[in-house]
Structure 1
Amino acid sequence: MEYKDYYAILGVDKNASEEDIKKAYRKLAMQYHPDRNPDDKASEEKFKEINEAYQVLSDPEKRARYDQLGSAYHTWQNRGGPGDFNWSQWATGAPGGVRVEVGNLDDLFGGAGGFSDFFRTIFGGGLGGAQGVNMEDLFRQAGGSQGRGRQRSAPPRRYEQPVTISLAEAYQGTTRSFDVDGRRLEVKIPAGARTGTKVRVPGAIRDASGQTHDLYLRVEVADDPRFKRKGHNLHTTVPVDLYTAVLGGEVTVPTPAGSLVLTIPPGTQPGQTFRLRGRGMPHLKDPSRRGDLLAKIQVQLPRNLTPKQKELFRQLAEMG
């Protein structure tokens, strides 16, 4: 598999912090999100690549392994890590143990020293001879039995995949489609999901041995410039002209489900907040319960007054 520079894909330095990586991922995920680029195959592939890079670099353990293995990382990953390595492709029967021919395997694992580094990374030791190595101890560490290379069934692994959704999707619930091992999976993300919510897809991943593993979607809710989410409540700012604030009237308030009309009383003050009950985010475990939407009034003063308007304001000032 071709080596992928995940740092370059996200546009960050190799010494980037977790926060820098998260910010870069969110920016790119929003830019190339399929909902923003319908029927754009190039953007769809870019979005998948961005998610693949973030899945590795956002996980400290995977990132450390990626940094250590370099171009050998995908070979190691495709074999399922140390617990799922398919020894049978390399083992040859031999009395007294199992031998592995390593004459040209360095090329497979990324150049000079790659194969040796690969095993040191997994087993913490060297390889010994140049032409072959007794694998008895290595099989024991990898789950073998009595040095004969019989591999015990490894425990199920946990796979995670980041997925970005909008606040409106988190409000209503949504679905995402994934192609896994030639199968098309439709996964429902429940209403009320927030950044960090994990959605389990049982048995979605099948490894080379036929064992199945669960897939967890790790939700990232993109920022919405109209709202601030605090718990189950949403906060928004509503611009109101001076005349409506003074005289009272109707104003339009945004919600994740669409706009609604709010009637404000005469003399509404700048910064005054109106609570719209049940218009906030649904509770993840009970979507029938919702938080509130708090609408803060932002009074907009008139600009470029006519002489007559200025005179009227002077008269009001004298009367007040």
Structure 2
Amino acid sequence: MSKRDYYEVLGVAKGASERDIKKAYKKLAMKYHPDRAQGDKSLEEKFREVQEAYEILSDERKRAAYDQYGHAGVDPNRGGGAGAADFGDIFGDVFGDIFGGGRGRQSRARQGSDLRYNLEMSLEEAVRGKEVEIRVPTLVECDTCHGSGAKKGSSPTTCPTCKGNGQVQMRQGFFAVQQTCPTCSGKGKIISDPCNPCRGQGRVEKTKTLSVKVPPGVDTGDRIRLSGEGEAGEQGAPAGDLYVQVHVRDHHIFTRDGNNLYCEVPLGFTTAALGGEIEVPTLDGKVKLKITPETQTGKMFRLRGKGVKSVRSGAVGDLMCKVEIETPVNLSSKQKELLEEFEATCTGQGAKHRPKEKGFFDGVKQFFDDLKS
């Protein structure tokens, strides 16, 4: 089954900025996250697809390779993404000898694969930063043979078939092509007496415990790279990297957008009409918010510097408080009587006290008058 275009997966244009790609990823990651999938395999597959697309398009080098060569340019089976030089190697191997300019390619053990660890955090932890311990199942260098794959006291020998090149030449008439040596599987060496613990692989399975320093201000989609903490390479080759992918859980009060935080604040209609002060929550505790008289529902109040400090620029965002006027419930007889008295004082003065209401009904009247005419 062919893979979908990564830009299509995230719903962005090919020329989308890094910010647009990250924003699209955050939205889709929250939509398809396994916590919400609840066993729905189709949603889990979409989440993996979104993760894969973001991993490629958020990396400048991988994105460039993908834009030029498509999925083949970032095929993990070619060691984590092929650039122009990789494709040059491909065509050189196949066609170089045909035209007399061939060159043998010295085989080398492959570098270890990169790993990804999904780290879930609360909003408070992400804003303040935290040092966490994670357990990662991976392949590590064998302690017995130190990655060589050969039994202690012995060592790998040069492959007699390819003479250590890892490639052999096959001729068919006028054509000559190179292919992976069938004797050593492209490694260039043969282990006649393999190490017992790793069975000649030079690597063994192990769960590593690592300490990760998460800087303050990270957000969903951010990655922390731990160099050399991925899988160990084959026969002593360098290890890959570990990428810790951050996912911030939804908060019951605040919503984050970039460096700004948003929250909805219920407001009594008396305070909304007369003005006053109320207490609102921030990540650092409660603060006073001054409400101006005649505040309408939906009005946004800004508390500067009460948002999130950017993990990159150090700039601090704001807290945006959206007020929602709350209609009183469970009124006593006395309270109802007082409200009726208040309403009586507004009779005939709708335009003065409730201009939006009067404007709306005047528009409705005009609408029906136009239908009749």
Range class of TM-score, shorter chain = 0.5 to 0.7
**Alpha-carbon deviations, 1:268-288, whole Å to 9, x = none?**
6636958599x6547869xxx
TM-superposed deviation, 1:80 = 4.4
The aligned residue for residue 127 of structure 1 is 95
Alignment of 1:215 with 2:215, yes or no, is: no
- Distance (whole Å) between structure 2 residues aligned to residue 230 and residue 22 of structure 1: 10
Report the CA distance between 1:52 and its aligned residue: 1.4
2:234 aligned partner, one-letter code? A
Aligned to 2:54: 54
Q: State the shift of 1:29 in Å.
A: 0.7
Rounded Cα–Cα distance in structure 1 between residues aligned with 2:119 and 2:291: 46
- Name the CA shift for 1:161/1:74 in 2 (closer, same or farther; >3 Å): farther
* RMSD, matched Cα: 5.7
TM-aligned CA distance change 1:82 to 1:45, over 3 Å: closer
* Aligned twin of 1:201: 226
- Aligned counterparts, 1:276-315, within 5 A: 280-281=307-308, 294=319, 296=321, 298=323, 300=325, 307-313=340-346
Measure, in 2, the Cα distance between the counterparts of 1:266 and 1:80.
56
Deviations 1:260-306 (A, max 9, x none): 776767976636958599x6547869xxxxx7974647373969x97
CA distance in 2 between counterparts of 1:6 and 1:247 reads 56
Percent identity at matched positions?
A: 30
What secondary structure does 1:55 align onto? helix
Higher RCO by CA contacts (8 Å cutoff, separation 6 or greater): 2
Contact 1:204 1:212 in 2 (8 A): yes
- Counterpart of 1:170 in structure 2 is 126
| Partner Cα distance (1:4, 1:184) in 2 | 32
1:253 is matched with: 280
Q: Aligned AA for 1:27?
A: K
Matched, 1:10 2:43: no
3-state secondary structure, aligned to 1:238 = strand
Choose 1 or 2 for highest CA Rg: 2
- Indicate whether 1:192 and 2:217 are aligned: yes
Alignment correspondent of 2:358: none
Residues 1:120 and 1:37: Cα distance change in structure 2 (over 3 Å): closer
CA distance in 1, matches of 2:99, 2:229: 39
- Which amino acid in the other structure matches residue 212 of structure 1? A
Whole-Å separation in 1 of the counterparts to 2:311 and 2:7 = 36
Deviation digits for residues 228-272 of structure 1, max 9, x if unmatched? Answer: 6675x7454534222134567885735469xx7767679766369
CA-CA distance at 1:79 after TM superposition: 2.8
- Tell me if the contact between 1:195 and 1:220 (Cα under 8 Å) persists in the aligned partners: yes
Please give the alpha-carbon distance, in whole angstroms, between the structure 1 residues aligned to 2:56 and 2:302. 44
One-letter amino acid matched to 1:208: E
The question of whether the paired residues in 1 share the 8 Å contact of 2:26 and 2:221 is answered with no
Given residue 4 of structure 2, which amino acid in structure 1 is its aligned partner? Answer: D
Compare 21-30 and 169-178 and name the one that shifted more.
Answer: 169-178
Task: Name 2:175's counterpart in structure 1.
Answer: none
TM-score (norm 1): 0.53
Q: Structure 1: where are the runs of 5+ without partners? A: 84-116, 140-148, 286-290
Give aligned pairs, total.
264
Shift of 1:311: 1.8
The answer to whether the 8 Å contact 2:115/2:242 transfers is yes
Shift of 1:215: 2.8
Mapping of residues 7-86 of structure 1, within 5 Å: 7=6, 10=9, 12=11, 15=14, 17-18=16-17, 21-38=21-38, 43-70=43-70, 72-73=72-73, 75=75, 77-80=77-80
Q: 1:238 is aligned with what amino acid?
A: V
